[in-house]
Structure 1
Amino acid sequence: MDTVYLNGEYIPADQATVSVFDRGFLFSDSVYEVIPFYQGVGFRLEEHLQRLEHSLRALRIDLKFDWVATLSRLVELNGGGNLSVYLQVTRGSAGKRVHAIDHHLRPTVFACCQPIRDVYQEGADKVEGIKVIVTADLRWHRCDIKSTCLLPNILVLQQARELGAQEAILQRDGALTEGASCNFFIVEQGVLYTPPIGTEILSGTTRALILELADQNGIPRQEAKIDYQRLIQADEVWISSSTRAIVPVVQIDDYVVGDGQNGLLWQRMFEIFTRYQHQLMTGE
């Protein structure tokens, strides 16, 4: 997608530049959101914007903005339809490298688009289960803030790739928190479990949708602490994110999950979830 939004302008991507003294570049002093737009309409836009405001307040960035109009126009300029919008807000540039926060800075606002994959078209039988590793959660203790400071996440994802895995689930003080770029679920005797939201877990919008769909379709679910032993002994394990939907996990470290195949409850939830997504994407 060629058109981006930057500080009040819609411009070609190759013309978008920010100062080398922008605090987002120097200090990761910035937050972000990834928002799906289906048929040009923001999906769960209010929830995404509430999370954005939560992150901005935590960083003490005061910004009044018409997000709906700005992002909707960006999607329209990029052809409309089904697109994912990446939105980033930094504290701005002081014109020099200085640690102290200047509350008078003008925040930098940037957004761009990319297509959304319609997983409904693939079908459950075409989805391959993935391998994950479990590793230490070395991030800071405010993971509820959707910060661009993602170096720990990047490093553990690289660790996973070097071990032939596609994702890493993080562990802190004996409890599993979330994935490097996802939330996760386990299934025990037909009941769906996921860790409760707190400052060490990001409140994922896809996670919330899965829990809502479970409630609507009579699938029992609970939020509960999950440790390593419980994870590797689970009947099923899933990960979820806004760009990957729901993906089954078939191996954790050297342990096979269940019988090593995509689980029956995952298959049911995949059909429910993708049917819901397909309706949004096509209106059918």
Structure 2
Amino acid sequence: MKEMILYGDRILKRDEVQIDIEDRAYQFGDGVYEVIRVYAGKPFCMQEHLERLEKSAAAIRLRLPEPVSKIRELLLRLLEVEGMRDGNLYLQVSRGVAPRNHAFPPDIKAQLVAYTQPSGRPVRELENGVRAITTQDIRWLRCDIKSLNLLGAVLAKQQAVERGAHEAILIRDGFVTEGSSTNIFGVKAGTLYTHPADHLILHGITRKITLDVARESGIPVREEALAEEELKQCEEVFLTSTTMEICPIVEIDGTPVGTGRPGPITRRLQEGFVRKIGI
């Protein structure tokens, strides 16, 4: 790996990139981001991620520095230069650089940054499952925007790590919303449940693929929030995300989920997902 960075419309060595102290991403978390998974050198669902980037930017009234088609070209060029086979492609757009002031600065140009993160598939977790905890959802009310404001999610994830778990399942007003960095699904009586795609969750790309695979496989689906007590009564629970794919959750708050092993519906969905990514 050459450790190159896409900065604006240029690809530079990491030590050549200088971030201004008054970049609004640094001072306000004023920007949006995406993470695109790369399998065998090919970005998976890049167009869907870029369309979501565009929607997130519009939601915070941020004008992207380039059209999405141009951003796609730049990202593909970065992948070609880096030659990464498997891993993640991270990109973010900040509102730009200006003297610190809460209000939007006039005539500011947004700043694009992207880089690669080599990483294999989480095979062990996909096979064996992971542990999770529950915690209160203290985030803001526009979780559908993939913004750089992630402190609520960071605090939840840290709680999970300190309790020996992989993920924190967030509870708002007694109902499951999503994970700190994932979407959450439960299976009750053979039916798949997940929170509806409203402002309280991120509309995950892998979440959508999972729902598509479920419907194609004849698995009943209900986009309906589970109560916290219902979650712990589910026969199966799993999380979805770009980096974790469809990963079983086998324990919540120290109590096994179902049999304590990945269940049959989770396995069917994993198989369908692997067919989608073509590996």
**2:196 alignment partner in structure 1:** 196
The CA deviation at 1:189 is 1.5
In the alignment, the residues of structure 2 paired with residue 51 and residue 157 of structure 1 have an alpha-carbon distance, to the nearest angstrom, of 23
| Pair 1:30 & 2:31 matched | yes
| Structure 1: unaligned runs, 5 residues or longer | none
**2:144 alignment partner in structure 1:** 144
1:27-57 deviations in whole A, cap 9, x for unaligned? 1001100112345443222221121111111
Give matches, 1:224-263, under 5 Å: 224-263=224-263
Give the share of equivalent positions with the same residue, in percent.
Answer: 41
**1:54 alignment partner in structure 2:** 55
**1:86 alignment partner in structure 2:** 90
Give matches, 1:115-126, under 5 Å: 115-118=118-121, 122=123
Say if 1:55 and 1:214 are closer, same or farther in 2 by CA, change over 3 A. Answer: same
In the alignment, the residues of structure 1 paired with residue 214 and residue 190 of structure 2 have an alpha-carbon distance, to the nearest angstrom, of 11
| Pair 1:71 & 2:75 matched | yes
The CA deviation at 1:143 is 0.5
Equivalent position amino acid for 1:216 in 2: E
In the alignment, the residues of structure 1 paired with residue 258 and residue 39 of structure 2 have an alpha-carbon distance, to the nearest angstrom, of 35
In the alignment, the residues of structure 2 paired with residue 93 and residue 228 of structure 1 have an alpha-carbon distance, to the nearest angstrom, of 43
Look up the SS of the partner of 1:85 in the other structure: strand
In the alignment, the residues of structure 2 paired with residue 211 and residue 100 of structure 1 have an alpha-carbon distance, to the nearest angstrom, of 39
In the alignment, the residues of structure 2 paired with residue 9 and residue 203 of structure 1 have an alpha-carbon distance, to the nearest angstrom, of 30
In the alignment, the residues of structure 1 paired with residue 49 and residue 116 of structure 2 have an alpha-carbon distance, to the nearest angstrom, of 16
**1:105 alignment partner in structure 2:** 108
What RMSD in Å do the two structures reach over aligned CA positions? 1.8
**2:21 alignment partner in structure 1:** 20
In the alignment, the residues of structure 1 paired with residue 257 and residue 84 of structure 2 have an alpha-carbon distance, to the nearest angstrom, of 40
Look up the SS of the partner of 1:127 in the other structure: helix
Say if 1:21 and 1:194 are closer, same or farther in 2 by CA, change over 3 A. Answer: same
Equivalent position amino acid for 2:117 in 1: Q
The CA deviation at 1:261 is 1.4
The CA deviation at 1:249 is 1.0
Equivalent position amino acid for 2:230 in 1: R
Say if 1:40 and 1:86 are closer, same or farther in 2 by CA, change over 3 A. Answer: same
**1:42 alignment partner in structure 2:** 43
| Structure 2: unaligned runs, 5 residues or longer | none
In the alignment, the residues of structure 2 paired with residue 248 and residue 81 of structure 1 have an alpha-carbon distance, to the nearest angstrom, of 25
The alignment's TM-score, normalised by the length of structure 2, stands at 0.93
In the alignment, the residues of structure 2 paired with residue 269 and residue 240 of structure 1 have an alpha-carbon distance, to the nearest angstrom, of 11
The CA deviation at 1:216 is 1.6
1:77-127 deviations in whole A, cap 9, x for unaligned? 111544421010001111x222221141111110001234245xx489x72
**1:265 alignment partner in structure 2:** 265
**2:129 alignment partner in structure 1:** 129
In the alignment, the residues of structure 2 paired with residue 115 and residue 163 of structure 1 have an alpha-carbon distance, to the nearest angstrom, of 27
In the alignment, the residues of structure 2 paired with residue 61 and residue 270 of structure 1 have an alpha-carbon distance, to the nearest angstrom, of 36
The CA deviation at 1:270 is 1.8
Give matches, 1:215-230, under 5 Å: 215-230=215-230
In the alignment, the residues of structure 2 paired with residue 158 and residue 142 of structure 1 have an alpha-carbon distance, to the nearest angstrom, of 21
Equivalent position amino acid for 1:21 in 2: E
